[in-house]
Each structure stands twice: as structure tokens, then as C-alpha cells.
Amino acid sequence: MLGAIVVALLLAAPSPAPSPALGHEACTTLRQNVRTALAGLMKNDEIIESGRKAYQKMSADRTTNTRDLAIDRLYVENAITALVHNLSIVDAQLADPIRFPLDAANGASSPAAMKAQLAAIAAQQKRALDLLSGALETGNFNAMQNSSDDGPTIVHTRSSLSAPTEVLNPSVTLDVGASTPDDNIADEISQRQAQLAEMESKAAMTVMSAAAACNGITPP
């Protein structure tokens, strides 16, 4: 995905000739806001994967080890909590009006360009979060209503990350295939991950280019 090499470049020791397109303010934004947002998005990739695996396990446990279903749901709940927290931090970093002024230059490696790419990645991660949280909420409701626990109906939710502890509400039902509901959730998350990988690859190149240009600039 974005990879540790990007973070390494952000922390790299100064080297010659910074790009004339980037100055102290842009490089400070890169090191402070972009680096923090980037680290959060990278961590979120791992969390989304843990949620996907939890739904895969949940599918198997419904027929082979139903006593573990509560533990499976706890794994998903922990992933949701961590995603909401991390995305709230990412949003705060990218919404900083001092580091990302509206009237700033908008070159290929400008802070505005990096913000746009990272914000798009965050939006895609929120869609994965919506899938995880909506399915879990519906599954928990089904578990209370039906002791046989036939599985959740897949839903999307609208993400609102004003507070890390906010509960997300289901809104839109997904049309899924013939496999089990839990398998369908895992498959849908896999599709989100594939889209994220492509977006993150492009963002990585932008950030790496900007980081290389800033190697010769020491923040004031």
C-alpha cells in the first residue's frame, strides 16, 4: 500500500537542491499534517483487513463453532472503534486551514494536491467503515431477535466522524450474491481494498515526490 518508504522519505535528512515549487510552509505541511494523516491511513489498511478476516471467520463459526460468534463480533467492533478514531484524526489534519489554505498554489506535488488524494483515500476507508459498522449493527440486532443467529443483512451507513465514539446508523441495503452474508461482507471489503490499493499507489508517488523536493528544506 503506501509503504514505509514514504514515511522514511518524510523523515529523510536534508539533501541538495529543493524544488523551487515547494517552500518552507509546504514542507512543514508535508512533515506535520501529511505525515500524520498518512500514518493514520496506513494503519487503517491493517484495521480494515482485520475486520475482513473477522467476517470470514464469522461465516465459518456459524456452522462449526457458534460459541465464538460473540468474540468475532468483538473483533469487528474493535476495528470499527479504531477506524473511527483514526479517521477523525486524519480529517482534522487535512482540515487545517493554516496548513492547507484555500488560496494556495495547486501544483502536482502541492499540499492541496496531496490533501485531495489523501482525502479521497479517507473517503474510501469510510465506505469500508460503513460496511463494517452497518453489518455489525444489523447482525447484533438479528442476534437479539433470533437465537439461531442466521447472520446479518449487509447494509451501508453514512459516516459522520465528529466524535471518535459516535455510533453509525444503517441506511442502505446492499444487493449481494448467493454466498453467506458474512462472506459477502468480506468480499465487499476486498473490493474496497483493491480500490484503496490503486488510490494509495498514486498518492504515494505524489507524497514521495514532494518529500524528495523537501529534503533540502529545514522547517523554520
CATH number assigned to the domain comprising residue 69: 1.20.120
Burial of 148 (0-12, 13-18, 19+ CB in 10 A): exposed
User: Would 10 be classed as within a structural domain?
Assistant: no
**Short-list 84, 47, 72, CA closest to 139:** 72
- Residue 86 Cα distances to 79, 147, 153, 162, 217, angstroms: 11, 34, 26, 12, 29
Q: Which amino acid type is present at position 163?
A: A
Q: Residue 3: which region, alpha, beta or left (left: phi > 0; alpha: psi -120 to 50)?
A: left
Can you read off the three cell numbers belonging to residue 199?
488510490
Q: Give residue 28's domain range.
A: 23-212
User: Would 6 be classed as within a structural domain?
Assistant: no
User: Would 36 be classed as within a structural domain?
Assistant: yes
User: Would 205 be classed as within a structural domain?
Assistant: yes
Can you read off the three cell numbers belonging to residue 87?
479517521
65-109 tens-digit pLDDT: 778 888 999 999 999 999 999 999 999 999 998 888 765 666 666
Confidence of residue 3 (pLDDT cuts 50, 70, 90): low
Contact 220, 28 (CB under 8 A): yes
User: Would 11 be classed as within a structural domain?
Assistant: no
User: Would 12 be classed as within a structural domain?
Assistant: no
User: Would 93 be classed as within a structural domain?
Assistant: yes
The count of structural domains within the chain is 1
User: Would 207 be classed as within a structural domain?
Assistant: yes
Confidence of residue 166 (pLDDT cuts 50, 70, 90): very low
